[in-house]
Amino acid sequence: MNEDPVQYSKSCQLQLSMATHFLDTYFNLLNVKNNATILDLGAGDASVTLEALLPRLPNFNKLVVCDKSRNMVNFAKNRFHDERIETVQMDIIDYDKSLKGYFDHIFSFLCLQQIPEDRTPEALRNIFEMLKPGGNIFSTLVVDVCFYEIWETMVKEKKWPPAMAGFKSIIPSYRSSDNPREKLMFLLKNAGFDVQVCNYEKRKFTYDGLNEFMDHSLSIIPILKIGSQDERTKFLEDFKEAVRKCSLLRIDSTSDGGQVHYFYSVLVACALKPV
């Protein structure tokens, strides 16, 4: 991911749209308590926390907003002016053991799919341990988006710079699964959870033009740090060419002004730690 929080915060309309939709759909099922202690895991720049999650929360005791990126945490810290809200840097693979049994509710939006497949059971077990008995996790995970297909196209055509090779590691294993919903349910149950909701949804988001879509792309893919200016310019040209070929995008016009329809699939899950 591009760890520039300023750029990310300017182009996170898709992330906000997803979080808003799923919270509107499922929030009443989560039984969020008054005076609860809550964690927003993998919150990035905290735009989703501020604009989608926080307005829905009842009176809470404490909200911990965390991300493994120091840049994101430092940026998020300056966005809150409530002594009940704390921003911390934390990787769920190596979480602070003092938080064991600490949270009533954990939210995680578009984060858990970035954990390597071989570390996912450990991450889910850590989340389980951080919850109080009777606490729950609400999570959304990307199954497929256009960037995975674009990456594969550019690799095949040898247009992907070596510096971007690490991007392959964030393509989730759910994408290649015949039944991503069953896979996630198995992982949650194996971690000890009672699964209340686990749904697979296909959705669409529309950008006003190709330039707006490219701004979003640059906010999550670290292409600006690759090579010289000439190399970056050439890369962006190749990237746009791959965008136009992508089956998960529909562009209404060949000009930059045509709307870009962005098709994606997501898993949404709510799981309870038994009392």
pLDDT for position 3: 67
Contact 90, 68 (CB under 8 A): yes
Comparing CA positions, the residue from 188, 182, 113 lying closest to residue 144 is: 113
Q: Please write the tens of the pLDDT for every residue from 171-185.
A: 788 998 999 999 999
For residue 139, what are the β-bridge partners?
Answer: 108, 269
Burial of 64: CB neighbours in 10 Å, binned 0-12, 13-18, 19+: buried
pLDDT for position 164: 63
- Report which of residues 233 and 109 the model is more confident about: 109
Residue 250 in this model has a pLDDT that exceeds 90: yes
Comparing CA positions, the residue from 197, 177, 195 lying closest to residue 186 is: 195
Burial of 189: CB neighbours in 10 Å, binned 0-12, 13-18, 19+: middle
Q: What range does the domain containing 36 cover?
A: 5-272
Contact 218, 270 (CB under 8 A): no
pLDDT band at 218 (very low <50, low <70, confident <90, very high): confident
Burial of 178: CB neighbours in 10 Å, binned 0-12, 13-18, 19+: exposed
Q: Specify the CATH number for the domain of residue 262.
A: 3.40.50.150
- Report which of residues 268 and 171 the model is more confident about: 268
Whole-structure pTM value: 0.92
Residue 5 in this model has a pLDDT that exceeds 90: no
pLDDT band at 36 (very low <50, low <70, confident <90, very high): very high
Total domains present in the chain: 1
